[in-house]
Every structure is written in C-alpha cells, then in structure tokens.
Chain A
Amino acid sequence: MNKYFNKALFYTEKKNILASMSAYGICYAIALLQFSGNFFALKRISKLSNITDYTTPAYTLNFMYFFFFAFCITTVVYSYMEKDKKYYFMLTQPYSRTSIIVTKTISFIISIIVPAVIYGVISFLILAFNKNYLGSNFGKLSVELFLKLFSIIAILVLLSTLLQLFQMVFGKMIVGVIFPVIYVCMIFLNLSLMKNFVSKNINGLRTAIEYINIFLFSPGNLQVGEKSFSTLSFSTINYIDKCYFLTSIILLLISAILVYAAVKLNSKIKAENTSDIFMFRFSEVIFKVIFSLTFTIIGSLIISGLLYYLYSAVLGMNYSTYLMNNYGIQGKESIEHNLYLVLDILWIPMFVFIYKLFSKIMNGRRIQ
C-alpha cells in the first residue's frame, strides 16, 4: 500500500480536499434548494402526474454547470502550490513517485464523492418522507437520482484526472492551466473553420470532421448517419440520457487509463524541468503542431478572403453572384469545391512550412 498511497501526502492534501468539497457543496446546496423549493411548491399546487418529469432531484443537477465549476475549482486548487517547490521537497521524502499521483487522485475522488453522497442522502430523504405522495414514482425517482449522481461523479473524476494529466505536461503553473484551455479552444476553432472549407471532393474527411464537431460541441450527443432518398442525413442521439450507468462506467475506465498515464509520466518528470514551460519534449511538439495548424487554417482563410474580394472588385460584382449567373447553382458549387480542394491541398505544404518556421524561431530564442 505504501507504494500507492501515503498518509503524509494525504495530510498535505487536506486543505485542497476541504476547498474542493466546499466548492462542490455550494453547487449541490443550490441544486438542493432549487429541487426542494420546486418540489414543495408544486406539491402544494399540482397533481403528482404533472410534476414528476421535471422536478426530480436528478433534474436539478445540471451537467454543464458542474463541468465549468469543477474545472475552475480544480484548477484553482492545483494552482495553489508551486510545482517546482513541491517536487523538490517530495522527491526527498519517503514515498514513491507513484504514490504522489495515486494519493492526489484519491483525495480528488473523496472531495467529489463526499458532497455527492450527502446530496444523494438528503434528496433521498425528501423523496422518502413524501413516499405516500409520490406513490409508484418513488422507486423510479430514487433510481434516477442515484444514477445521475453516479454519472456526475464519473464526469468529475474524469475532468480531475484529465487536468492532472495536463499538469504533468507543463511545468510553469499558470502555463499548465492556460495552455490546455488554449489547446482545446484552438482545436475547436480549427475544426469549426475547417468544416466549411473541406471540399466535397474529399467527402470522407468532411464527414469525419462533421462527426468530431458534433461530438465535441455537444457533449453527451452522438451523431448517427442515416441514408434516405439517396442522401446521407444525420440525426443526433443523447447517449448520456439514454444510458447513465454504462456511460459512467466508460468514463471511469477512461479516468483509470488517464491516472495510469499520469503515473507513467510522473516517473519521467525531471525536477529541474518543473520550472520550464514544457516538461517533456513531446509537449513542445504538440504545442507546435496545434499552433502551426491554427496559423495555417486562419492564415489561408484570411488570404483566400482577401483574394475573393479583390477578384470581386476586378469583376465589378460579387464572385459568387458571377458564378451563379454564369454556371447556375450546381456549377457554382462545383467550382467552389474545386477551389476548396486546391486550398485543402495547399494546407499541407503551408503547415509544414509554418511548423518548420516556428521550430526555427523557438530554437533561435532558446540559444539566446
């Protein structure tokens, strides 16, 4: 056990656990007030059949609300301690590197589970004391409550472990917080921009980006392609609402994989790098790839836009209108997608060029 869990380390996490628990506690308290307020108000004025669907304890727990809050709090808690100071001390202490991560993860999980259990118990008691009023709905509401709590715990555990993994990659604390957020924003930005400018001539890529966009922009939803009237149309299903339990188990499994990855990365961390921006060579490569991709996409679209307006000015009319007048809707679309194809092909050498330029600038700065 000593290799994986350490009481002394857990003791140093005490303040962080209490801070996280208080933050989550505030969320649950708001949700509880909202639920109980609605429940008792509607109980007074309505019949049971009208209220069961939307005033359950589970309903008041909003996923996105927790996503945001958990992310902020965990980030603040993590920022609380300076990484270099922490590592320089911890590496001299009688516990393994593995126990540093595992103990931290356990303390995260405790700070997530305890408030959730308290919320669950109080909500359940409210339901239990109104069992006669709820009748046959009591069982359904109770099961729904605990399933949703379980899925929230799973999501928060995943978020915490993901953040822990990000923290492993970047040395400087503020950078360790800002960079992952910038990365995610840039990936979203690139995908949403690319979606409109990938040519239909490379339909596989266009469809893949479509899928990824739906997955990322609408968490919990999955897009399903359906072929009807010889065209492919998409419909969205909400997989979280459909199967709380299974989704939660999958999220917890992913969390376990992330913890394992964090343990492996932690064993490779060099104390002297903890004050650098990039603690590993690969984190610098990822940074350069995402930055170069963003520059490529945004740069090429700005240039394309400028060329479009310049050519429109030369023609004396909007280029789209010109195409429409001369070739019809089908022809316009076909020409546009051929132009997009040229742009898409140009992205490859442009990306390589910007990546190399970026590497050269970074190396130059490093030598100075």
Chain B
Amino acid sequence: MVVEINNLVKKFGDLLALDNVSFSIKEGEIFGLLGPNGAGKTTAINAMLGLTKSDSGEIKIFGKNLKEYELAIKKDIGIVPQDIAVFEDLTAYENVKFFGKLYGLKDNLLKERIEEALNFTGLWDRRKEYPGKYSGGMKRRLNIACAIVHKPKLIIMDEPTVGIDPQSRNHILQSVKELNRTGSTVIYTSHYMEEIEELCTNIIIMDHGRIIAKGTKDELKSLIAFEEKVRIDLVSVNFTLVDNIKSIKGVKEVAVDGNSLKIASAKGSRNLGQIIDAISAADSEIVSVNVEQPTLEGVFLTMTGRTLRD
C-alpha cells in the first residue's frame, strides 16, 4: 500500500473536520476523493502532508509512519494545490527550478527534469515568461509542472481543474492519466464527479468529514441501482400504450412527459424488448431510446439528499 490511513480524527474547535476516516491506496492507482466543498477532502490531504496535525489516528505513507519519517516521505510526494501556487515574479523555468532544488535536484539532473516537466505540461516554449502573462489554464499547468519536477511516486492533486476552460481541463486530465501510466500513484480530489468517473479506479465519497461510501466506480453505482430507468421519445403517446407498458412484467412506473415516456423497471427485469414491441404494436413511432445509467452524482444524491454542488 502506498497510503494507509487509520481512524483519522481532526477537529477545528467544535467542527469535526475528519471523523474517524480510514482508507488505503494501492500503488499505481488513481484514487478519487469526491465530495462537496467543506467535505474534508483538503483537510485529509493536509494531514497526509503533515500540514495539519491530526487529533488521533495513524497515517502511513510508503509503509512509513508520517510522524516519524515526515521529511523522508515528503521527498517522494508531489502536491498540486487547489489554489495556483506559483511565484508571479519568477519565470516558469525559475519556478520549476526553485521547487526542483527544494526536492534536492541539482546540476544536470535538475536541468533535465525541468525540461521534462515543462515539456510534459506544454510550457517549454514559454518557459522564459512570467506567469502573469499566462492564461488560467497555463497557470494550472505550471502548477502541475512544479509538482512533478522531482518525479514523485505519489502525486496529490487537489481540485486541479477549478476555474479553467474545457481545453485546459482536458489537457490536465490527459496529463493525470499519463503520469499514472508512467508509474505515479495519483490521489485526485474534485467535486466534479465526471472527472472522478473518468480517471479514478477506486473512489471514496466524503461528506461532513466522514466517508459515506468507498469502492470502485461500479461498486458505488451498484449501491443505488435498485431500478433501471429508460426514457423513450415517441412521435405520439396514447393512454392505451401506457396501460400496455404498465402491464409488462417488471415495470414499476410509467410517467408521461409530453411525447416522452419515463419507464422505471425492477433491477434485472430485462424487459426493454417487450416495451419496444408494445410500442410497435400500438403503431407509435420511436424517435429515441435513452437508458439512464446510475452516476456518482446519483450515488451522492441518494446517500446525502444533496447534490455535489449544493
């Protein structure tokens, strides 16, 4: 295990920021931390970096206890903070160089790593410019370059795509995959469930300092897959058709929305063919069929009664 966290508790006054949090992360995975703002994601990360002293619990990274081996552990961690953390009065090259040196790189190795990091983030050609001249997306990429210059074994990315354009977001998501492919374990936090779904193999969902669910994407989705939903758009709808569909085995509910039917069936009913046959028999023309899949957003909504962006 790259990370093992056991029964972590952190209070800020009366606020319980981390409530007995436990999870572990295997080497080579992209691990997702999903939750709304204030869920405790950043507190958990700060605790892993030794920036927040936990009230109780144990953190082991690379098999070593964080309290005892903090500096040694930090050598192999790269952090991409939530807020852009680059020096505006140093060029992109100097920024990456500064952080490379903090991680002990020097001479030719330092130069090679700076070039690699800036090439990886697509900033090599603009390395002599100050970040003030960069777009928001480019600053985010420089933020990543500073975190990966020392080739860390574990990269922690705390909401790295906040407030950027779709193109830069895509670039960053591809970068995360590439970093993982080249051997880094990645912890990725976000309140954008689409990103977590796209990137992460294992996920924990946090809310109010607690882990409310954990597992793979499919495991989490199966938690709420009590029924299967299908939406069928038709040229016209009549009540006889609705009654016929309701009589099909497994169908629990049929709702009419204009010329659309929203049909909920019991999980594993496998009745879509029968529904389409019923529509054909009623001489109604199908415009489109959409099978609705459970999402992590749905998981969160089901478990908390709130959406991620509430």
Tell whether A and B belong to one assembly.
no
Residues of A within 8 A of B (CB): none
Residues of B within 8 A of A (CB): none
